[in-house]
Structure 1
Amino acid sequence: MKKITSFSAAMLAASVLLAGCGGGDPAAEGSGSASGGADGKVKLTLWHNWSGQDAKAVAMRKILDDFKAANADIELEVEGLPTDGLKTRLKTVAAANEMPDLFVMWPDAMTKEFVAGNLLQPVNEFLDSKPEWKNNFIPNALDGYTVDGKIYSVPMNLSPSSFIYYNQALFDQHGVSVPKTWDELLAAVKTFNDKQIIPIALGNKANWAVQSTIFSAVADRVTGTDWFLKAVKQDGAKFTDPQFIEALNRLKELGDAKAFQTGFNSIDQNQMRQLYFQGKAAMFIDGGWAMADVVANAPKEVLAQTHVALLPPIPGGKGEAQSTSGVVGTGLGVSQSLSGAKKDAALKLFYALAGPEGQQATLNSSTLVSYKLELDPSKAHPLFVELHELMKTTKLSPVYDAKLSSAAVEVINNSLQELLMGGSPEAVAKKIQDAQAGALGK
């Protein structure tokens, strides 16, 4: 809690500092050394999370290379970081008022916090200048980037966060059916353990993974979405309510059944997928973003046997069975400090990455988009076609870290690690409730 409290205070300080700077000459920020050096080039900094070798990352880096080649008057200073490192670094520089010019960011909670800190500038005018682009996003795609009627970014992908990726050959070999019920999932876990196969590979070193890819979906199955949104607002529901305790118990049930390999808190998601690629695990649970890595890097014999499914419903649960947790995808934040030539250059790059061509490149990289594009099954990998078809009948429910306060997100991420190591659901629930209530001053 101390870490979060100090971060919140630092964010407030950054907000005050930026507000104090607001009385200066805006034009000055886009001129002189701020926009370029003696060579006349506009210098632009970009931070992103396309640092891996998955197809999506490769596609986005190619767009950056093409942009550099086509815009000799713009000097790009690009830094790629893993997702976890980028999130941490953005929060650190936000507190210090040292934001890069453009940066990959997340909808809902992060957008609201950065807007509250006066760190972002809206892109309404730019969007309105390109109606054929603005009007082609799927319904509600811009909601997570909209605060008080101002739009601060657009999604560059679509991020359902919870699917079971499974190896059909291992299921067939050991007479296991793809789980359609919670009891069938637990039975599959037991059978694979008996056969000395990891039932579900898990990489939770970055502690958001369990919360985002497993618990958000499990909890919605139990509580339903309406309850969760009320608990987020602390309006008619609390995280100490019985239905949330039940959701925590369901996750604990998986842990107690040894659904995950020993040491899951010490490896990351790339290492998790390697266990699956090596045939040591029958399943792993991950977001739609994992598809680009699976298609690009899984061995052919494993890829040919891989399919995707939703987590099964939970008896007595209030949530929809045909759903998965998720959000519209990451967007690009435009620093509040930009104006003049720097702002023009930033928006040009923004459009290259998030405009129609960027959306098409993303779809072509086996990554879902929040944009109206037709998928050509003859050109896409069959596994991605399978995922794309599944999403046509699947509803998105909220991911916890997109709706909760920063304080509660840190608490739930750490607490779920503890829960899977034998912690108490009631104690975990109280920590989360105290964190969210405290963040809202309730």
Structure 2
Amino acid sequence: MRTTARNRRTVAAFAAIGALALTLAGCGGSEGASAPEASTEPTRPSVALPRLEGQRLQVVAVWTGPEQEAFTKVLKEFERRTGARVSYVPTQDAMLNYIGTKIAGGSPPDVAMLQQVGALRQAVERKWAKPAGADAKAQLARNYSQGWRDLGAVDGTQYGVYFKAANKSLIWYNTAVFDNAGVSEPKTWKELLATAETISASGVTPVSIGGADGWTLTDWFENVYLSQAGPEKYDQLARHGVKWTDPSVTRALTTLAELFGRPELIAGGAAGALQTEFPASVTQTFTGGDQPKAAMVFEGDFVSVNIAQTEAKVGTDAKVFPFPAVGGDAPVVTGGDVAVALTDKPAAQALLTFLASPDAAAVWAAEGGFLSPNRSLDPAAYPDDVQRGIAKALLDAGDDFRFDMSDQMPQSFGGTPGKGEWKALQDFLKNPKDIAGTQARLEADAAKAYRNEG
């Protein structure tokens, strides 16, 4: 992979996350952070919102549990400032299917938080989405970099507001296990495998994988592929400009098989991983004292939400390092949830405007498990230095990142449980020796999806 000054700057920013985690150990963890406490109700609103008494708004997203609770607080703040009444409905991952059913029944949601760039484009192509209004676009211009604005636009028209971002190039680890095994944070893929072997020899299974949720496996693949094949090839595969039978995919799957093909390194082996949902993959890494079911778990900044469901403390018991470099550079993969209006209600546009402001971001940031691409958000809004460091790294990267590949694809291939890429990679975890067969299935499913939906 060719290293450029821009890439080096991005990698350096994300590498600083590990240093922040180490710094926290010396200051007593997140409880010792000296940053000022954040308020969940901004005292000086940065955006004026209209009064909307009598208007009702329905918002749909995939968030449940702690994430739903945090987002509900955002919506409550919107209600307080506008007088509107907002109801929230959690949906399944295949949100376009849900929206389509509701539209066919004559009762579309007013605002949807879509997880895929491809889903946003499809919503526009189906004439479901409404362009963002002038106030929302003004907030975006003030608070967001061009790259994030572009992700919410289709053919030059702004539709979406990326409210919640994700850094999907992180590995979280149990510090007690690392200390007992005498290992440090790996910086390369080879070092990661060697670290895993040492941890295994110490009596703890090294890696936890939430394989029951196929999207976690797409994130594994994307980080390996981006680092190994490079950003240009990544962009080509994301738009199906190269086939999934390409040699670059062969190399990435072969690399993944170095881990997936060793069941002794995976909590529960392949069979156990395929029955482990993402939240459990996190909690089993940080429960059980110095003998948890696993030492490390890969996923985004939102892992901290699930760590909070255990007795572990981020910054002391749980630390984080960037996904190791497979090629020349460590990968920087992001994801996010984009708000899009599906009706012409003034309240729908007002909510988009609010979500594009730092006021809304500050509400969830204070709850933890949240990362905002809003560059006007005060870093003090985040609850600890680890999350502040992850957020700073994202903003310092500017537009030098790559968005989650599966989220850029047609939903039927890149975002549907039990189908397409999710299912193919679950089958690959079960049988990592079948690289050629996996590629053939991926290409067949991708070709069909792009032909029907792309």
The two structures share one fold, judged by TM-score above 0.5: yes
Partner in structure 1 of residue 258 of structure 2: 253
Pick the aligned partner of 2:354 from 347, 352, 355: 352
One-letter code of the match for 2:112?
A: F
Determine helix, strand or coil for the equivalent of 1:277. coil
| Cα displacement (A) at 1:160 | 1.8
State how far apart, in whole Å, the 2-side matches of 1:87 and 1:441 are.
Answer: 18
| Cα displacement (A) at 1:86 | 4.8
C-alpha contact (below 8 Å) 2:211/2:275 kept by paired residues:
yes
State how far apart, in whole Å, the 2-side matches of 1:357 and 1:217 are.
Answer: 32
Offset from partner CA, 1:157-197 (integer Å, 9 cap, x none): 22222310112221121112211222221122222223331
Check if 1:193 corresponds to 2:200: yes
Residues 402 and 91 of structure 1: CA distance in aligned 2, closer, same or farther (over 3 Å): farther
| Cα displacement (A) at 1:50 | 3.6
Partner in structure 1 of residue 152 of structure 2: 145
The correspondence of residues 58-207 of structure 1 with structure 2, limited to 5 A, is 58-72=69-83, 74-81=84-91, 84=93, 86=95, 89-90=98-99, 93=102, 99-128=108-137, 131=138, 133-207=140-214
Residues 357 and 229 of structure 1: CA distance in aligned 2, closer, same or farther (over 3 Å): same
Partner in structure 2 of residue 240 of structure 1: 245
Residues 146 and 305 of structure 1: CA distance in aligned 2, closer, same or farther (over 3 Å): same
Residues 380 and 350 of structure 1: CA distance in aligned 2, closer, same or farther (over 3 Å): same
Determine helix, strand or coil for the equivalent of 1:216. helix
| Cα displacement (A) at 1:427 | 0.9
C-alpha contact (below 8 Å) 2:228/2:252 kept by paired residues:
yes
Check if 1:380 corresponds to 2:383: yes
C-alpha contact (below 8 Å) 2:357/2:374 kept by paired residues:
no
| Cα displacement (A) at 1:133 | 4.9
Check if 1:227 corresponds to 2:230: no
Consecutive unaligned residues of structure 1, counting only runs of 5 or more, are 1-39
C-alpha contact (below 8 Å) 2:114/2:340 kept by paired residues:
yes
Residues 254 and 88 of structure 1: CA distance in aligned 2, closer, same or farther (over 3 Å): farther
Determine helix, strand or coil for the equivalent of 1:210. helix
Offset from partner CA, 1:361-408 (integer Å, 9 cap, x none): 233333221111365469731321342354466552232212223343
State how far apart, in whole Å, the 2-side matches of 1:66 and 1:374 are.
Answer: 16
425-434 or 388-397: bigger deviation: 388-397
Determine helix, strand or coil for the equivalent of 2:226. helix
Determine helix, strand or coil for the equivalent of 1:157. strand
**Is the radius of gyration larger for structure 1 or structure 2?**
1
State how many pairs are aligned.
Answer: 384
Partner in structure 2 of residue 429 of structure 1: 439
| Cα displacement (A) at 1:53 | 1.8
Residues 379 and 238 of structure 1: CA distance in aligned 2, closer, same or farther (over 3 Å): closer
| Cα displacement (A) at 1:94 | 6.2
Residues 405 and 63 of structure 1: CA distance in aligned 2, closer, same or farther (over 3 Å): closer
Taking only aligned residues, the RMSD between alpha carbons, in angstroms, comes to 2.8
| Cα displacement (A) at 1:275 | 0.2
Residues 414 and 377 of structure 1: CA distance in aligned 2, closer, same or farther (over 3 Å): same
Check if 1:321 corresponds to 2:329: yes
Partner in structure 2 of residue 208 of structure 1: 215
| Cα displacement (A) at 1:63 | 2.5
Check if 1:268 corresponds to 2:273: no
Residues 300 and 416 of structure 1: CA distance in aligned 2, closer, same or farther (over 3 Å): closer
Q: Which structure exhibits the higher relative contact order, with contacts defined as CA atoms closer than 8 Å and separated by 6 or more residues?
A: 2
Residues 274 and 49 of structure 1: CA distance in aligned 2, closer, same or farther (over 3 Å): same
State how far apart, in whole Å, the 2-side matches of 1:376 and 1:332 are.
Answer: 22
| Cα displacement (A) at 1:118 | 0.8
Offset from partner CA, 1:193-244 (integer Å, 9 cap, x none): 23331211111222112112x1110111221121132234444x32112121
State how far apart, in whole Å, the 1-side matches of 2:240 and 2:276 are.
Answer: 34
Residues 284 and 360 of structure 1: CA distance in aligned 2, closer, same or farther (over 3 Å): same
| Cα displacement (A) at 1:421 | 0.7
What TM-score do the two structures reach when normalised by structure 2?
0.76
57-66 or 259-268: bigger deviation: 57-66
C-alpha contact (below 8 Å) 1:68/1:76 kept by paired residues:
yes
One-letter code of the match for 2:404?
A: V
Matched residues, percent identical? Answer: 21
Residues 114 and 378 of structure 1: CA distance in aligned 2, closer, same or farther (over 3 Å): closer
Partner in structure 1 of residue 298 of structure 2: 285
One-letter code of the match for 2:212?
A: K
Residues 87 and 121 of structure 1: CA distance in aligned 2, closer, same or farther (over 3 Å): closer
One-letter code of the match for 1:182?
A: W
One-letter code of the match for 2:390?
A: L
One-letter code of the match for 1:200?
A: V
Consecutive unaligned residues of structure 2, counting only runs of 5 or more, are 1-52
Determine helix, strand or coil for the equivalent of 2:197. helix
One-letter code of the match for 1:147?
A: V
Residues 132 and 345 of structure 1: CA distance in aligned 2, closer, same or farther (over 3 Å): closer
| Cα displacement (A) at 1:152 | 0.8
| Cα displacement (A) at 1:348 | 2.2
State how far apart, in whole Å, the 1-side matches of 2:426 and 2:158 are.
Answer: 35
Determine helix, strand or coil for the equivalent of 1:64. helix
State how far apart, in whole Å, the 2-side matches of 1:286 and 1:256 are.
Answer: 20
Determine helix, strand or coil for the equivalent of 1:156. strand
Residues 379 and 63 of structure 1: CA distance in aligned 2, closer, same or farther (over 3 Å): closer
Determine helix, strand or coil for the equivalent of 1:388. helix
Check if 1:420 corresponds to 2:433: no
Determine helix, strand or coil for the equivalent of 1:142. helix
Partner in structure 1 of residue 316 of structure 2: 304
Residues 97 and 217 of structure 1: CA distance in aligned 2, closer, same or farther (over 3 Å): farther
One-letter code of the match for 1:231?
A: L
C-alpha contact (below 8 Å) 2:209/2:278 kept by paired residues:
yes
